[in-house]
Amino acid sequence: MKTKSKPLIFSVTSGKGGVGKSFLTTNLATTLANQGKKVLVADCDLGLANIDIMLGINPTLTLKDVVFGTLHLRDVITTTKGGFDLIPASSGVREMAQLLFEKIQMIKDMLLEIEGYDIILLDTGAGISEVVLQFNLLAGQNIIVINRELTSLTDAYAMVKVMYQVFGRKTFSIITNNIKDEKEGSNIFKNIDTISQRFLGFPLHYLGHVVTDDVVAKAILKQEMAVLAFPHSHITTNFSQIGKAIFDWQKH
Ligand SMILES: Nc1ncnc2c1ncn2[C@@H]1O[C@H](COP(=O)(O)OP(=O)(O)OP(=O)(O)O)[C@@H](O)[C@H]1O
Ligand SMILES: [Mg+2]
């Protein structure tokens, strides 16, 4: 059944690279699709896209054909074995990493025109480049991923601070990834929440945690989604809880 209302748009972003954004985006999308939602993922890591590789697909049309061609974003959407749809980006195309502001604006306008989904997840590149900030601004909600490394926390705080000071945004949610257990996750969250309250004056929202699990590497080797290939794993439970938390959070 098609959804008529405008999709919720979430970005999955981070200050520091390599914290697990693409892993989280694709497995969260798979989980939400499993929970009956119609989900679209947009690979917004324009210069170094890799979601297609994680899924073992080789799309003929990508975001590049929208930016440098005449296609609409709708035309490059492809289905995936995760049960969600994907707007693939291209990798190793230098011009894509340095897109002009007008082109980013064009992608943003087209994304806002897309209907028929409950939720759109934008997997951004890392850092506070203009492209990443623009995608975060377009999204109604920003999910910031952090892990136990101090630099991931300080870089996440930098992201929150810039989004607040430049665009006035005050609502952010956090996922802790690659951690030992629930307790470590909530301690890491408490650190960044305390800093935000003290220096910016607003609290952050905690969406949940995902533990370090060796099924992640196994799934990547098989080019499968971990939550489908290992349905009884610890991370599959983590993703179900985050999936529910996202929609509970929206009700508030
Ligand atoms: N919870 C986890 N358990 C085990 N491995 C993980 C976990 N989360 C992420 N990884 C691994 O960490 C690596 C980095 O993850 P990923 O590519 O998703 O990060 P990213 O934030 O998207 O990176 P980039 O900033 O380069 O886009 C990958 O090899 C991924 O499989
Ligand atoms: Mg990534």
List the residue whose alpha carbon is closest to atom 3 of ligand 1. 212
For the chain, which domains are there? 8-251 (3.40.50.300)
**In a 10 Å sphere around its CB, with 0-12 CB exposed, 13-18 middle and 19+ buried, how is residue 208 labelled?**
buried
26 lines ligand 1 (CB under 6 A): no
φ, ψ (nearest 5 deg) of residue 223: 50, 45
What is the rounded average pLDDT for all residues in the chain?
92
DSSP state of 6: P
Among residues 121, 58, 136, which one has the least CA distance to residue 90? 58
* Spacing, Cα 75 to ligand 2 middle (Å): 23
- Report the C-alpha gap between 69 and 64 in whole angstroms: 7
Contact status, residue 134 vs residue 46, Cβ threshold 8 Å: no
pTM, 2 dp: 0.95
User: Ligand 1 pocket, 45 CB below 6 A?
Assistant: yes
Judge if the beta carbon of residue 34 lies within 6 A of ligand 1: no
Q: Both tokens of residue 78?
A: 């492809």
pLDDT tens-digit series, residues 107-160: 989 999 999 999 999 999 899 988 899 999 999 999 999 999 999 999 999 999
Contacts of 30 (CB under 8 A, 6+ apart): 82, 83, 84, 225, 227, 228, 239
Residue 2 scores a pLDDT above 60: no
- What confidence tens digit (pLDDT) does each residue in 190-241 have? 999 999 999 999 999 999 999 999 999 999 999 999 999 999 999 999 999 9
CA distance linking residue 30 with residue 236, whole number of Å: 10
Whether ligand 1 lies within 6 angstroms of the CB of 17 is answered as yes
Q: Where are the beta strands (DSSP E) in 50-161?
A: 78-79, 85-87, 119-126, 141-146
H or E, element range at 129: none
What gap in Å lies between CA 184 and CA 125, rounded to an integer? Answer: 26
Q: Is 216 in the pocket of ligand 1 (CB under 6 A)?
A: yes
Ion ligand 2, residues whose Cβ is below 5 A away: 21-22
How is residue 13 written in tokens?
């972003």
- pLDDT per residue over 55-79, tens digit each? 888 899 998 899 888 999 999 999 9
Q: Among 19, 23, 233, say which to mutate for ligand 1: greatest number of ligand atoms within 8 Å of CB.
A: 23
Given a cut of 80, is residue 98 above it in pLDDT? Answer: no
pLDDT higher than threshold 90 for residue 247: no
What atom in ligand 1 is closest to the CA of residue 145? 21
For the segment 83-103, the average pLDDT, to the nearest whole number, is 80
Structure confidence at residue 71 (pLDDT)? 93
Report how far residue 75's alpha carbon sits from residue 188's, in angstroms, rounded to the nearest whole number: 41
The answer to whether the CB of 23 is under 6 A from ligand 1 is yes
